[in-house]
Amino acid sequence: MNPGPPSATTRDRLVDAAVRMTIDLGWSKVTMVRLADEVGVSRQTVYNEMGTKVGLAEAMILRELDRFLGVVRLAFDDHPEDLVEAIRAATRTVLEHAQDNPLLHAVVSATHGADTELLPLLTTHAGSLLEVARSVLLERIAPYDVDLTPAELATAIDIVVRVVLSHVMQPSGTPAETADRLAWLAGRVLRVRVAD
């Protein structure tokens, strides 16, 4: 049993334990009973807090997404006058974090015992994940002067989010190389106005 920090909510403790179990044992071995035993609560408490195993998976994925988006926010904060550099920095740091993320590796890698239940939450059925990411990027890009209609900007943001997510799942170069390529593309698509 691992009660976690005293200030952590029951939900936080359950998600923490589920992440540890997924990393150590694989998602297929995570059960509501095993999770209840690990945290020291009843099985009914687990169901009350998380709903279903899919709800638990979504909570894990959305919390990791929030951590990744924190990195994105910092990258934009560091480049308030240069949108292309903000995108380059955000992409690079997200991909660097992805390389060292044990939960992501457990989800993607069959060698960690991950089954196919978690992967769709990151890919084809990731509507809420994509929507949250798009929303954060739209909010961060709003202060920059881009020469796009709202519909064009929404499309550009959707493409950036999907490309970064695809590289998180299956990298095809170093984080810096991918960030440079995406920044090059973003600079042309977003048509950022440069001050005279």
Residues 127-186: tens digit of each pLDDT: 667 788 889 999 999 898 888 889 998 998 999 888 998 898 888 899 999 999 999 998
Kindly give, in sequence order, each residue whose CB lies less than 8 Å from that of residue 196, ignoring residues fewer than 6 positions away: none
Q: What number is the average pLDDT over the span 109-136?
A: 63
Residue 148 placed within a domain: yes
Residues 41 and 117 in one domain: no
Question: What pTM was computed for the model?
Answer: 0.77
What average pLDDT is seen over the chain? 83
Share of the chain above pLDDT 90, in %: 41
Structure tokens at 164: 């970064």
Residue 196 placed within a domain: no
Kindly give, in sequence order, each residue whose CB lies less than 8 Å from that of residue 84, ignoring residues fewer than 6 positions away: 183, 186, 187, 190, 192
Residues 75 and 37 in one domain: no
Could you tell me the CA-to-CA distances from 175 to 6, 43, 125, 133, 190 in Å, in that order?
Answer: 37, 41, 25, 19, 21
Q: How many domains does the chain have?
A: 2
Residues 46 and 79 in one domain: no
Q: What number is the average pLDDT over the span 75-80?
A: 94
User: What per-residue confidence (pLDDT) applies to 114?
Assistant: 45
Residue 194 placed within a domain: no
| Most confident of the ranges 17-31, 59-73, 83-97, 116-130 | 83-97
3-state class (DSSP) for residue 145: coil
Residue 68 placed within a domain: yes
Residues 69 and 157 in one domain: yes
Residues 97 and 5 in one domain: no
Cα–Cα distance measured from residue 105 to residue 36, given in angstroms and rounded to the nearest whole number: 24
Q: What number is the average pLDDT over the span 107-134?
A: 62
Is the pLDDT at 36 greater than 50? The verdict is yes
Cα–Cα distance measured from residue 123 to residue 115, given in angstroms and rounded to the nearest whole number: 14
Q: Which amino acid is at 163?
A: V
Q: Which domain holds residue 14?
A: 1-51
* CATH of residue 29: 1.10.10.60
Residues 165 and 130 in one domain: yes
Residues 44 and 120 in one domain: no
- C-alpha 152: how far from chain center: 24
Residue 147 placed within a domain: yes
Q: What number is the average pLDDT over the span 29-49?
A: 94
